[in-house]
Amino acid sequence: MEDIPREVVELAAKGDIGAFEEIYRATSSFVYNTAFQVTRNREDAEEVTQDVFLKVHKELGRFEFRSSLRTWIYRIAVNLAINAYKKSKRRDSRQNELDENMEVADARSRADDGAIREEDAKFINSILDTLNPDHRACVVLRNIEGLSYQEIADTLKININTVRTRLKRARERMIEVFKKRGN
Amino acid sequence: MDCRKVMDMILTGYIDGELPAGLKEQVAAHIASCEKCRLFEADVRKIAVEPFEGVKKETPPEAVWANIKAALDKKAEKRTFGEILSENLKDILRVPGIVYAAGVVTIAAFAVLVILNAPFIKEKEVRRTGQAAQSTSQAVHTAKDRKGGDSYLKEQMDFIIMLQNNDNTVVTDSSNSDIGAFVEEMIIR
């Protein structure tokens, strides 16, 4: 992960909106994709992205460069995405059904782009739904965002062995669900 | 190598390229010679890895940045003095350690001076001096009343001056003087 120059961070912390936009452009794709994969809902992902950057802007003056800025932003993103997912789980069943329809539509729309096969898109949607948010976050960070185990550990502030355990359990669960569905 | 251990490594470090070189080769050699583990590796790749490979990375809609910017502009208009100070506090506090040390020493010295010259301390000293003088004066009058006569008084006054310390307290010794006993009595009261 290439980090954002310190001067840019310091300028943004002093209120330079141009510098802050630079940070946003460099990291928003990660934040948005992670939020979407964790929440499984596009609207929630947009809201999480907005909340992440407002929080980053508010806290930037207190950032002490002990970790990379990206790691810090990604940590905020994963935490807010997990919270949003938990909150969305508490919504009524009607809303959940609506979200599910939107997710399938999202998957089709992405499949139309030719970036991903429709069956893979549906499979990712259904398989990620069976994972708990912590395991899901690890899978997203590893399989979609391509972070190393150490980067995942730093982002989630967990031990590298916990990363390994979560990925192992998540993948065992994926295989179990896949086989139960008779594929 | 045990199949169970190999499967655990296939699920994580092996498939993700996170095993040390030597161990990776051992696992690969085991997979090559074990059909069960070979099939397992194929399943893991097909189910838990390959479906994610084509996922397109998206950027958030432009409206998200517009909303963030609008929220920040609104916040900037409402900034209080406290917020501005807190945002700049880091810069204000970013001074070398020696300056902090000098500041602490200056504050400590100033505090000592203030304490030593504090009005309440002076007041206490004045009160102590006043009490001693009052006690002496009362003792003299009492002695004068008891014994009568100015010559006796003069004699006893000299004695009191001898007993007075530098700090304006009166040292009394009832065994040496009648008036000493009175002074002591007055101070105790």
What is the ipTM score, two decimals? 0.78
Contact B71 A15 (CB under 8 A): no
Tens of pLDDT, residue by residue over A165-179, are: 999 999 999 999 888
User: Please, what's the largest Cα pairwise distance for chain A?
Assistant: 57
pLDDT of residue A167: 96
Interface membership of B82 toward A (CB under 8 Å): no
Q: Where do the structural domains in chain A lie, given as residue ranges?
A: 1-90
Which residue is it, tokens 């002496």? B136
Interface membership of B181 toward A (CB under 8 Å): no
Most A CBs within 10 Å: which of B15, B47, B88, as the mutation test of the A interface?
B47
Contact B44 A171 (CB under 8 A): yes
Query: Higher confidence at residue B41 or residue A90?
Result: B41
Query: Higher confidence at residue A87 or residue B70?
Result: B70
Residue A94 predicted with pLDDT over 50: no
Exposed, middle or buried, B34 (CB in 10 Å: 0-12/13-18/19+)? middle
Nearest CA in chain B to A22: B65
Helix (H), strand (E), coil (C) string for chain A: CCCCCHHHHHHHHCCCHHHHHHHHHHHHHHHHHHHHHHHCCHHHHHHHHHHHHHHHHHHHHHCCCCCCHHHHHHHHHHHHHHHHHHHHHCCCHHHHHHHHHHHHHHHHHHHHCCCCCHHHHHHHHHHHHCCCHHHHHHHHHHHHCCCCHHHHHHHHCCCHHHHHHHHHHHHHHHHHHHHHCCC
**Sign (positive or negative) of CA dihedral A131, A134, A137, A141:** negative
Band of the pLDDT at A3, cuts 50, 70, 90?
confident
CATH number of A1-90: 1.10.1740.10
Tens of pLDDT, residue by residue over B88-108, are: 665 666 666 777 788 889 999
Residue B67 predicted with pLDDT over 90: yes
Nearest CA in chain B to A112: B56
Residue B128 predicted with pLDDT over 80: no
pLDDT of residue B41: 95
Q: Which of B52, B65, B89 sits opposite A124 (nearest CB)?
A: B52
Interface membership of B96 toward A (CB under 8 Å): no
Query: Higher confidence at residue A88 or residue A76?
Result: A76
Band of the pLDDT at B153, cuts 50, 70, 90?
low
Query: Higher confidence at residue B87 or residue B147?
Result: B87
pLDDT of residue B89: 65
Band of the pLDDT at B114, cuts 50, 70, 90?
confident
Interface membership of B71 toward A (CB under 8 Å): yes
Band of the pLDDT at B160, cuts 50, 70, 90?
low
Contact A13 B87 (CB under 8 A): yes
